[in-house]
Amino acid sequence: MRLLVIVAVFATACATSTGSLKPGGPMDTAENPIVQTGNPVLRARAKDVPVEQIGTPEFQQLLVRMTEAMRKAPGVGLAAPQLGVSLRVLVLEDRSELQAALTPTELAERERVPVPLRVFINPTLTPIGDDKVTFFEGCLSVSGYAALVGRWREVEVSGLDEKGQPQTWRVKGWPARILQHEVDHLDGTLYIDRMVSRSFGTLPQVKALYGGKPITDVKSTFGVE
Ligand code: CO
């Protein structure tokens, strides 16, 4: 709720922004501001955000742009490099309407539950335990495709929130996957670097062939343990 208010407040400032934190990808258009794979900004290690920058209108406008781009796509997470901004910032949000296409079994297997909007600035991620889980995953910067990716089941992420306050979140399941995916972006890593490459497919194929199937069946199709 707190975050939504912040977004609403800064959304009005966004329209008149001429700040330096501009989106910069060659694929950047009004329709799709999300930088696509091939652009080196997705392969650079993003820089830490100076704490004193967090309260500036420019930086807060970046958070608004990221949130809007994530929701419009729609996606469940976005990292600043995906808007051409090489800073260590991520947003995530998993709304229930985005989960409507999944069966209760799929949601349970993924430990996927609605997650309200969260911002992490300068995050550090630590795996918890030894459990890894494998599911199909996509990326707004590799538009139109998905592949099986193994991720830690549970992680702890520490960093700053949108007000520059320290925060730590220990979480398992789908939000843990989103966090690993987005923190990877800040290090110049894409899921295609970690995927089971033989499972790489177009989204329509993946949805048609594997949607609603138990993950054990899907994994056995590709010979994944
Ligand atoms: Co991504």
| Dihedral (CA of 130, 133, 134, 138) sign | negative
Look at residue 85 in the predicted model and tell me its pLDDT.
Answer: 98
Among 52, 97, 182, 225, the active-site one is 182
* Cα gap 140→118, rounded to integer Å: 18
How far away, in angstroms, is 81 Cα from ligand 1 center?
A: 10
Residue 92, token pair as written in the block: 């995530």
Residue 78, token pair as written in the block: 């976005």
Residue 29 binned pLDDT confidence (cut-offs 50, 70, 90): low
pLDDT for 56-77, tens place per residue? 999 999 999 999 999 999 999 9
How far away, in angstroms, is 14 Cα from ligand 1 center?
A: 23
Give, for 116, the enclosing helix (H) or strand (E). Answer: strand 115-137
Residue 32 binned pLDDT confidence (cut-offs 50, 70, 90): confident
Residue 172, token pair as written in the block: 């398992």
The closest alpha carbon to 139, from 58, 13, 34, 63, belongs to 34
How far away, in angstroms, is 45 Cα from ligand 1 center?
A: 15
* Cα gap 26→149, rounded to integer Å: 28
SS3 at position 132: strand
pTM passes above 0.85 = yes
Q: What is 39-52 written as a DSSP string?
A: -GGGTSPPBPPPGG
Beta-strand relationship, 201-202 and 145-160: antiparallel
What CATH number matches the domain at 40-221, 3.40.220.10, 1.10.260.40, 2.60.40.1730, 3.90.45.10? 3.90.45.10
Domain ranges of the chain: 40-221
Look at residue 9 in the predicted model and tell me its pLDDT.
Answer: 30
Better pLDDT: 186 or 11: 186
How far away, in angstroms, is 185 Cα from ligand 1 center?
A: 7
The amino acid at residue 44 is A
pLDDT for 186-200, tens place per residue? 999 999 999 999 999
Is 182 an annotated catalytic residue? Answer: yes
pLDDT for 154-205, tens place per residue? 999 999 999 999 999 999 999 999 999 999 999 999 999 999 999 999 999 9
